[in-house]
Amino acid sequence: MRILVVDDEKKMVMFLKKGLVEAGYSVDVAQSVSSADALQGANDYDLILLDVMLPDGNGFDAARKFRSDGYAGQILLLTAMSSTKDKVRGLDSGADDYLTKPFSFDELLARVRALLRRSGTAQSPMLEYGVIKMDLVKRVVRIGSDDAALTAKEFALLEYFLRNADRPVSRTELSEHVWDIHFDPGSNVIDVYINNLRKKIAQHTKNKYIHTVVGVGYALRKE
């Protein structure tokens, strides 16, 4: 699942992004309302973590605009303002939940999972392709009748392939969307993870699924 973090505090952004990526989520970052608005308009996010105090506006107005633009995913407001009045204002602006700073990452992650469990009406919590079935809420992968034991990064990698099935995806694309880094042509990290994922899929089906596309990258295909 894909999450947009909107916060202008660098330490907070690093804290949130690191934890969410390790939990298996794909994460984009915006440090202002304007950049968040642009990213939200160009991408499909399952959840937006939105700080209230931003350099060019506030999270209340941003949440209201996202809703008016048709965003149907989950919005979790993050703020140091803890009064009942502020919480009511945040929820009335279109947010689904409100978390006051400081908070533990465990609590944040629990709230993220709870919100995503609610979001079945906005987006299906299941991805399916051939004999591969992925439950995005329970974070379980079944191949045929078996559960596949995947690491968080392997889960995120397979999720990206499932969302982009039958089309080639480049190493650059994978590095940016799964690893959240710029592609290093001298690194074989992506190839190593692809190889590991192929081996785990092969434990449950004879179909190769992840194919090499010469000169491009990889593609998830049934043949």
The pLDDT of residue 63: 93
Amino acid 24: pLDDT: 78
Let me know whether 135 and 160 are in one domain: yes
| DSSP run (H or E) holding 176 | helix 171-177
Name residue 98's beta-bridge partners.
77
Q: What is the pLDDT of residue 122?
A: 42
Are β-strands 210-213 and 217-220 bridged in parallel, bridged antiparallel, or unpaired?
antiparallel
Same domain, 112 and 6: yes
pLDDT at 177: 77
106, 121, 136 - which closes a domain: 121
64 and 112 co-located in one domain: yes
pLDDT tens-place string over residues 66-119: 998 888 889 999 988 878 888 888 889 999 999 988 889 999 998 998 888 776
Question: Do 186 and 85 share a structural domain?
Answer: no
- Indicate whether 17 and 49 sit together in one domain: yes
Q: How far apart are CA 137 and CA 117, in angstroms?
A: 6
First and final C-alpha spacing in the chain = 26
| Residue 35 sits in the same domain as residue 18 | yes
Q: Which residue has the tokens 């392939």?
A: 161
Claim to verify: residue 57 and residue 90 sit in the same structural domain? yes
Is pTM beyond 0.95? Reply is no
Q: How many domains does the chain have?
A: 2
SS3 4: strand
CA gap 167, 160 in Å, rounded:
11
Q: Which helix (H) or strand (E) holds 13?
A: helix 10-22
CATH of the domain at 165: 1.10.10.10
Same domain, residue pair 37 and 136? no
**Is the pLDDT at 182 greater than 80, yes or no?**
no
Task: Say which CATH number the domain at 23 has.
Answer: 3.40.50.2300
The domain boundary, picked from 73, 97, 121, lies at 121
Q: Write out the residue range of the structural domain in which residue 211 sits.
A: 126-220
Spatial CA neighbour of 97 closest among 58, 50, 62, 137? 50
Domain boundary residue, one of 76, 98, 121: 121
